[in-house]
Structure 1
Amino acid sequence: MYAAKEVAGLGGYVFVMENEHDILGAIVVNRTGMNEYLAENILVYMAVKTEYRGKGIAQKLIAHTIKYCDGDIAIHVNKDNPVIALFEKQGFKSRNIEMRLVR
């Protein structure tokens, strides 16, 4: 809702890949408004329908996001997630380590 500006804020982007009436995948990017401290954009969600995984949908969504968004783009990915290789192929580099106190 934030990215689509349905709630107050800087908004962002929602990119959807479709084939006729079938949604194949989607990406949601929020603008941070904190360019001096964080990336201008944060990729908060990406999903590809199970039967379309491994067919280049995620790669195309990421490439479109890179082309369309102005400024840096950050994403938080679990260190054991195999999707890291896909983002590295698109030029993303590991920069920070998140530390979290789990309660």
Structure 2
Amino acid sequence: MAPELLMQGRASKASDVYSYGILLWELLTGRRAFAGLPAPLLCIKVVQDHWRPAWPQGVAGPLRALAEACWSPSAGARPTFDEVTSYLETLMQQPDLLTSSRARMTS
């Protein structure tokens, strides 16, 4: 959950973008974010320490950058879903970027 959702209890488009960034990390790594971490501790770490899931070694590229932009601690600094969609459409026009990223992720 987004830090502001944990603190204020209100969902927003920005908190949905945050969740998308976490989901993107899970899809790219094949792992569950923060697996095994107790929920109360996770809440504290996300809000106070700006914890985000750690990337496995070698994961880089435009999708990583997108995930990191989506989980910015500041809701106002996150892209909108229109911007996310536009970015993904641009990446689809440049499959060499995605292929090289995938190669780095699986090696």
Instruction: State whether TM-score is above 0.5.
Output: no
TM-score normalised by the chain length of structure 1: 0.27
Normalized per residue, which structure has more helix?
Answer: 2
TM-score normalised by the chain length of structure 2: 0.26
